[in-house]
Amino acid sequence: MRFALPFFIACSACLAFGCASIPQTGPDSISGTWKTEAPASYIIEHSVHKPQGESVEHDHIELLERSASVEWQLEERPDGLVIGTTHWIAHGSDGQELFRGSEPLLGVRDFERLVLEEAADDATHTPQMVFHCAFDGPDRIRVIGYEVGSKDLMAMRFVLHRE
């Protein structure tokens, strides 16, 4: 019985120090500006509204490859909800700007997970996008994005760095 208290204190200390030493890969807050260092490739289904891009072979669908520079301005609320804006520029294979846009972002962060949704823009024929994000340190986010809400297919992957 007299060993119970020291054992309990030792276990509690180990747990407290052990939990404190678990490395955190994400930032304390994601509020701020995040940018791609270089344009990232993406593939999108051919559209009569935006026919630019390099043709990508596929058995059943006409696809185009382009690249994009992306900037996110994010504000994380205390409850984990995230609001923001995305600014992007699409480039052709020659590096020339094809078109650009800005859309609102809405999402949620739960510890090391971040999911954001970008609104569709009918005026610029921009599809609605969903972004699944993983933190790679406090100032780097790896992103996978795909289109939802329209018939056009789109897939992209990029890395954002805190500015």
83-128 pLDDT, tens digit per residue, is: 999 999 999 888 899 989 899 999 999 988 999 999 877 666 666 8
Q: What is the pTM of this model?
A: 0.78
DSSP helix/strand/coil, 145: strand
| CATH code of 48's domain | 2.40.160
Cβ–Cβ < 8 Å for 102, 85: yes
pLDDT computed for residue 39 by the predictor: 93
Q: Which of 28-32, 61-65, 72-76, 84-88 has the lowest mean pLDDT?
A: 61-65
Burial class of 2 by CB neighbour count within 10 A (0 to 12, 13 to 18, 19+): exposed
Write the pLDDT tens digit of every residue in 2-29: 544 444 444 444 444 443 333 445 678 9
Structural domain including 135 reads 4-162
Number of domain units in the chain: 1
